[in-house]
Amino acid sequence: MKNNSILRLAIQKKGRLSEDSLRLIKECGIKFSNGTGKLKSRAGNFPIEFLYLRDDDIPDYVADGVADIGIVGENVALEKGKNIDHIRKLGFSRCRLSLAVPKEVEYTGIEYFQNASIATSYPKILRRYLDENQVTAEIHEISGSVEIAPSIGLARGICDIVSSGSTLMSNGLKEVDVIMHSEAIIIGNQNLDDEKKSILDQLLFRIESVQKGKNSKYILLNAPNEKIEEIAALLPGMRSPTVVPLAEKGWSSIHSVINEDDFWQVIENLKKAGAEGILVVPIEKMIF
């Protein structure tokens, strides 16, 4: 690999994606300083450079090759992005892009919007959704504070990002239809050269290890030897569980890895099978 090759990653300068994007990079063992007000910085121990930008601008910069890859919400990638690759979902900044109407409206279906006006910052995604549902509506594109549009008479409803719904509620609106679910993703330029691809692969490998670690827990427990087989069957682990004899005769310590999603069910079953002194510890990274 040429040693001057460097991957340029665009991340949101300030907003809901910034903190988690930077945390992910740090968890990948990449060291950098991001002094406030900086627009660019370089990692000290990995061939990567960061550009700090507004999220709306990131898909265009990636498509143009100013940045090689970027982290944005899928909602923004779909709205702004043409000619970019959607490389990897990152599992944070989860939200929905939804239609909402004043809460007193008796909403019976998407026909409510027929010939109505809808305010949104996502005209392309909304237009596609309305077309798919054979609804003709006027789309008012506004860049912020979309949720006040109905109360000032600008639109009959809105299409905007929702997570808890509290912003809608405090503006007298209710969510009536989900257009898409979104989370942060890595997007990439479609013409990366081999050196940049190779750096990207290293980065993705690290991200995967961090993500797998987060979805798994290391579990240690004690069990009487005659129960080992039954308990081992409940703990598939990475290969199979580790069994270590305890100082007390007839007892062993069993170690394994379990998936976060099955966690409580597995614990319940282990207790029933006779496990004692169960310890569960977080895993920082998992490499296969």
Out of ligand ATP, Mg ion, none, which partner does residue 234 contact, by CB within 5 to 8 A per kind?
none
The angle at the Cα of 211, spanning 15 to 239, to the nearest 5 degrees, equals 175
**Interface positions, 35-54, toward ligand ATP (CB under 6 A):** 54
Q: Which is nearer to Mg ion, 18 or 34 (CB)?
A: 18
Q: By C-beta, is 17 or 126 nearer to ligand ATP? A: 17
CA–CA distance from 210 to each of 60, 66, 113, 162, 258 (Å)?
28, 27, 44, 27, 15
Which residue from 169, 113, 168, 157 is spatially nearest to 137, judged by alpha carbons? 113
Provide the token pair at 212: 């797998």
Whose CB is nearest to ligand ATP?
Answer: 73
Assess 120 for contact with ligand ATP (CB under 6 A). Answer: no
Window contacting ligand ATP (CB under 6 A); options: 14-22, 82-90, 242-250, 253-261: 14-22
Q: Is 277 in the site for ligand ATP (CB under 6 A)?
A: no
CB of 9 to Mg ion, least distance (A): 18
In the complex with ligand ATP, the residue whose CB is nearer, 168 or 232, is 168
- Does 55 contact Mg ion by CB under 5 A? yes
Should residue 17 be labelled a site residue for ligand ATP when binding is judged by CB under 6 A? yes
Q: Distance between CA 256 and CA 197 in Å, rounded?
A: 35
**Does residue number 89 form part of the binding site for ligand ATP (CB under 6 A)?**
no
Binds Mg ion (CB under 5 A): choice among 20, 27, 49, 56: 56
CB of 143 to Mg ion, least distance (A): 8
Q: Is the dihedral of CA 171, 177, 179, 183 positive or negative?
A: positive
Strand partners, 259: 216
158 binds ligand ATP (CB under 6 A): no
- Looking at the Cβ atoms of 95 and 137, the one nearer to Mg ion is 95
What Å distances lie between residue 231 and 136, 200, 221, 273, 278, CA to CA?
60, 40, 10, 6, 12
Q: Does 209 bind ligand ATP (CB under 6 A)?
A: no
Selected range binding ligand ATP among 68-76, 146-154, 199-207, 242-250, rule: CB under 6 A: 68-76
Angle at 186 between CA 198 and CA 166, to 5 degrees: 165
The length of the chain is 288
Count of positions on this chain that bind ligand ATP (CB under 6 A)? 16
Interface residue with ligand ATP among 21, 98, 171, 182 (CB under 6 A) is 182
* Torsion sign (Cα): 152, 153, 156, 158: negative
CA separation for the pair 229, 251 (Å, rounded): 13
Distances (CA, A) of 255 to 27, 161, 278: 25, 43, 10
The residue (of 79 and 177) whose beta carbon lies closer to Mg ion is 79
Q: Which residues bind ligand ATP (CB under 6 A)?
A: 12, 15-17, 54-56, 73, 75-76, 93-95, 161, 163, 182
